Chains A and B, each alone.
Chain A
Amino acid sequence: MSAKIIMLVEDNPDDEELTLLALKKNRILNEVVIARDGAEALEMLFGDGPHAFPARGIMPAVVLLDLNLPKVGGLEVLQRIRREASTRMLPVVILTSSKEEKDLIESYAHGCNSYVRKPVDFEAFVKATRELGFYWLLLNEAPPRKP
Chain B
Amino acid sequence: MKDSVKSTDRKSPPPVNEAGEGDGTRTFAAFIKHLPGITFIKDAAGRYTFANGGWEKLFDRSAEDSLGLTDFDLFPEEMARAFTANDALIQQSGEARIVYEDVLTESGRQHMLVSKFPIFDAGGKVAHVGGVAVDVTTSRRAELELKEREEQLREAHERIRFHIVNSPLAVVEWDEEFRVIRWSGQAENIFGWTEAEVRGFHPDDWAFVHPDDRESVAEIMRQLSKGEKPRNLSHNRNLTKDGSVRFCDWYNSVSLGDNGRVQSIFSLVDDVTDRVRAQKEIVRLNTQLERRVERRTAELRAANAELEAFAYSVSHDLRAPLRAIAGFAMALAEHVEGGLDDSARKYLERIQSRATRMGELIDDLLQLSRLTRTKMKIEHLDLTSLAEEVAAETAQANPEHSVVTVIAPGMKAEGDPSLVRVLLQNLLANAWKFTRNSTEARIEVGVRREGGLDTFFVRDNGVGFDMRYVHKLFTAFQRLHSQAEYPGHGVGLATVQRVVRRHGGSARAESGAGAGATFFFTLSPRPAGESRKEP
Contacts and interface: CB of A to CB of B under 8 A. Distances in A.
Interface of A: 12, 14-15, 18, 21, 67-68, 96-102, 118-123, 125
B326 interface: yes
Chain A CB within 10 Å, residue with most, of B317, B322, B327: B327
Chain B CB within 10 Å, residue with most, of A102, A118, A122, A123: A122
A121 B324 contact: no
Contacts of A97: 315-317, 319-320, 323
Interface string B7-37: 0000000000000000000000000000000
Given A99-B366, A120-B359, A122-B352, A18 B327 contact: yes
B312 A125 contact: no
A101 B363 CA distance: 13
Interface in B357-410: 358-360, 363, 366, 370
Contacts of A119: 323, 359
Interface residues of B, number: 26
B319 A123 contact: no
Given A14-B320, A120-B355, A100 B315 contact: yes
A122 B312 contact: no
Nearest to B313: A68
Given A119-B359, A121-B352, A96 B316 contact: yes
Contacts of A68: 316-317
Contact of A99 (B322, B326, B355, B363): B363
A118 B315 contact: no
The 10 closest A-B pairs by CB, nearest first: A120-B359, A14-B324, A122-B327, A18-B327, A122-B330, A121-B356, A97-B319, A97-B316, A120-B322, A98-B315
Given A122-B331, A122-B352, 4 more contacts: A14-B321, A98-B316, A100-B312, A118-B319
A102 B315 CA distance: 12
A120 B326 contact: yes
Contacts of B326: 120-122
Nearest to A67: B316
Given A18-B327, A125-B327, A120 B319 contact: yes
Nearest to A120: B359
A99 B319 CA distance: 11
